[in-house]
Amino acid sequence: MSALPLGVQPGRRGRRSAELVVLEGLRIRGWEHLLFVECGDGWVAEEAWRRMGKGYVCGLDRSSSVVALATELRAVPGKLEFKTWDGRCVPYPDEFFDSIVSQCDLRRWLEPLGVLREICRVVRSGGGVYLVELQQGTGGGPVCAGPDWPRLLEQAGLFLHEASIPFVGEDVVAGHDHGPARLLCARRTSAAPGAIP
User: What does the pLDDT look like over 1-12, one tens digit per residue?
Assistant: 333 333 333 333
Residue in 125, 136, 117 with CA at minimum distance from that of residue 196: 117
Say if pTM beats, i.e. exceeds, 0.85.
no
- Terminal Cα-to-Cα distance of the chain (whole angstroms): 30
Phi, psi of 188 (to 5 degrees): -80, 135
Q: Give the Cα-Cα-Cα angle 79, 80, 86 (nearest 5 degrees).
A: 125
**37: nearest Cα among 108, 121, 102, 119:** 102
Lowest pLDDT segment from 23-27, 64-68, 103-107: 103-107
Residue 23 and residue 4 in contact, taking contact as beta carbons nearer than 8 Å: no
Report the distance separating Cα 117 and Cα 167, nearest Å: 27
Residue with the bigger pLDDT between 149 and 12: it is 149
Of 175, 161, 186, 28, the closest CA to residue 102 belongs to 186
Are 135 and 162 in contact by the 8 Å Cβ rule? The answer is no
DSSP codes, 50-114: HHHSS-EEEEEES-HHHHHHHHHHH-BTTTEEEEE--SS--SS-TT-EEEEEE-S-GGGSS-HHH
Kindly indicate the confidence band of residue 138, based on its pLDDT and cuts at 50, 70 and 90: very low
